Chains A and B, each alone.
Chain A
Amino acid sequence: MFSDQLHFLAQLVVSGITVGSVYSLIALGFVLIYKATDVLNLAIGELMMLGAYFCFTLITTYKIPYIPAFLITLVFSAILGILLERVVLRPMIGEPILAIVMITIGLGTVFRSIIGMIWGPLNYVFPGPFSEEPLMLGTIAVSHVHLWAMIMAITVMIVFLAFFKFTTMGIGMRATADDSDVAFLMGISVKKVVAVSWLIATVVSSIAGIFLANINLLNLNLYFIGLKALPAAVMGGLDSIAGAMIGGVLIGVLENLAGGYLDHLFGGGVKEVAAFIILLLIMMIRPYGLFGTKEIERV
């Protein structure tokens, strides 16, 4: 009896960690853009969805194998990211927060309608290369998709940590995030930094989108999961990369636990709101997130 319960708990935690790692990936997209440009990109859910649908079409309609299709999608989203920054976001530099938040919401709305126009409101099963057989870790079952999603998320994060630590561009991005005026005076091309952050964020969200489409179905509700990664980013603190990663995994595990243990008390669906309730509770205690820096303001 005891081992049964422990097993249930372990299963919830493990699948929470795997889903949570995808949230971390999306949260990374939020944090990157926020750090470099002070923009909260609420269109990230739709960018994710666009990447997933694009890759899906390459695989099913153009019969391109999975991995090349994946890479083409990344190139496509890189171009899209630069384009978005140049055309829509750059005119908005210096505008108030609300205007910038709303313009990303507007972008998201437009993308959602474009996706709806092209692909329609159907559910698609993403043709992934992963086998359906679950992998057994001891007695805990983990599906291949989840495992690969987690490996991918960890790889991407290690790559980015190295990027920020060792490359000139990465150091420039950190400098810009810290103080864009000083970075500008030190000869860092702030425009380039902003463009690169948008590029990275759209690429990362495409990766997340493709894996989410593999885990769930591919349909027009996928963007909602992007919104669920928002608590992860905010919880960790909007300007902390490590916070985004930890926040993502934490949200994944906590919402799984809430779903597993509280669903029968509230009649189901607790998993869908758990992330937001946790977010509210954490913001009551720490208004700048777990690892965010408290801004010191002067008049």
Chain B
Amino acid sequence: MTSGDFKTSYKADMAIFQTIWIKLWMAVLVVFMIFFPFWAGPYLTYVVNLAAIATIGALGLNILTGFTGQISLGHGAFIAIGAYSTAILTADAGFPFWLALPVAALITATSGLIVGIPSLRLKGLYLVMSTLAFSFIVQYVIIKWESLTRGSTGMGVPSPRFFGHAIDNDRAFYFLIMPIVVMAMLFARNLIRTKVGRAWVAIRDRDISAEVMGVNLSRYKVTSFFISSFYAGLAGGLYAYYITDISPEHFPITLSIDYLAMIIIGGMGSILGSVFGAMFVTMLPEGIRIAADIFGTSYPVLVDRFFEVKVMAFGLAIILFLIFEPTGIYGRWVKTKIYYKSWPFTY
């Protein structure tokens, strides 16, 4: 009689969903997710869609920053490149969405290579600076290259069509986005279990040691940039389809900070953490909006200065998480699980 979670074969040890309980909960989750948009109203579906798109972007940044340890303040720029590539391919070149989306993601991934290769010599804060500089330059190009991007007026993106049906409402988008999110998560989860993933973690933990052990630094860093920006391109493309009208204002410099906040709040180097973080950061402003609706009469500052309150809550969330829970929501989740598992014994 075994008590506890023991594995008797390599196959069981390598499975993604390891215990019967995890499989059961996964099944429950899938059923819940299928019925969710019918039960929730359009507003809730809208928020969840945005969070799902952000999850893809956060997964990408987590691969680069959380697993490979390359800090990037340029993720927002990749999202913008993905969104604009999708928009241009769909609106101007007439690509169908199932072709435009992957092609746009590939374009973004290639731009990731363009940033990644020169950045091989840069480390730590100097990499932060070069990626920040890159995002300023991308923003400038988007505003100034008017013949391609329509400049600051922005451009419209036609809704994707699937077997003759236009995907143009929140519920239809939900069923377009969710499978992509699930695939993105599974791909990332599997990737970090492979040789590539282990090489990334080795680079993150100590790049010199990794190199001595035979990890080809340039190759794996560039791969990380490539895959990370591929995810960013997917997220950007979906975002462009979803909001149907993109302009440079949708991709401010602070977008990169939003994504960094997601992986910090969610949990660095964790797939589930990316989901938690994306949900938290996307839903925080909506939560404050609800609070403003409820308490607006007694605390008018919530309504009058809604934007500032939102920004402040975001900043405070970053600071408080970094000081009090550096492992993020994922760390808290693991601690809670362990607490219940070992209850009533504390150790």
Contacts and interface: CB of A to CB of B under 8 A. Distances in A.
Interface of A: 34, 40, 88, 91-92, 95, 97-99, 101-103, 105-110, 112-114, 116-117, 227, 230-231, 234, 238, 266-267, 269, 272-273, 276-277, 279-280, 283-284, 287-289, 297-299
Contacts of B322: 92, 95, 99, 102-103, 106
Given A92-B323, A234-B126, A266-B144, A105 B133 contact: no
Contacts of B122: 283, 287
A269 B137 contact: no
Q: Which of B129, B260, B264 has the largest count of A CB atoms less than 10 A from its CB? A: B129
Interface string B108-132: 0000000000100111111011101
A273 B140 contact: yes
Interface of B: 65, 71, 118, 121-126, 128-130, 132-134, 136-137, 140, 143-144, 146, 206, 208-209, 212, 257, 260-261, 264, 268, 301, 305, 307-309, 311-312, 314-319, 322-323, 326
A287 B123 CA distance: 8
A203 B345 CA distance: 52
Nearest to B211: A299
A102 B318 contact: yes
B170 to A, nearest CB: 30
Contacts of A102: 260-261, 264, 318, 322
B136 A273 contact: yes
Contacts of B307: 116
B311 A97 contact: no
Contacts of B212: 299
A298 B309 CA distance: 46
Q: Is the interface of B mostly helix, strand, loop or mixed?
A: helix
A230 B129 contact: yes
A225 B300 CA distance: 33
Contacts of B264: 98-99, 102
A40 B319 contact: no
Contact of A101 (B118, B125, B130, B208): B125
Q: Which of A108, A231, A276, A288 has the largest count of B CB atoms less than 10 A from its CB? A: A276
Contact of A288 (B126, B130, B318, B319): B126
Given A98-B264, A102-B260, A269-B144, A279 B129 contact: yes
A110 B311 CA distance: 7
A110 B257 CA distance: 13
Nearest to B71: A98
Contacts of A99: 264, 322, 326
Contact of A98 (B65, B137, B323): B65
Given A102-B260, A106-B316, A269-B143, A116 B308 contact: yes
A88 B320 CA distance: 10
B244 to A, nearest CB: 27
Nearest to A233: B129
Given A109-B314, A113-B308, A116-B307, A269 B129 contact: no
B137 A113 contact: no
A276 to B, nearest CB: 4
Given A105-B318, A109-B314, A284 B209 contact: no
Contacts of A289: 126
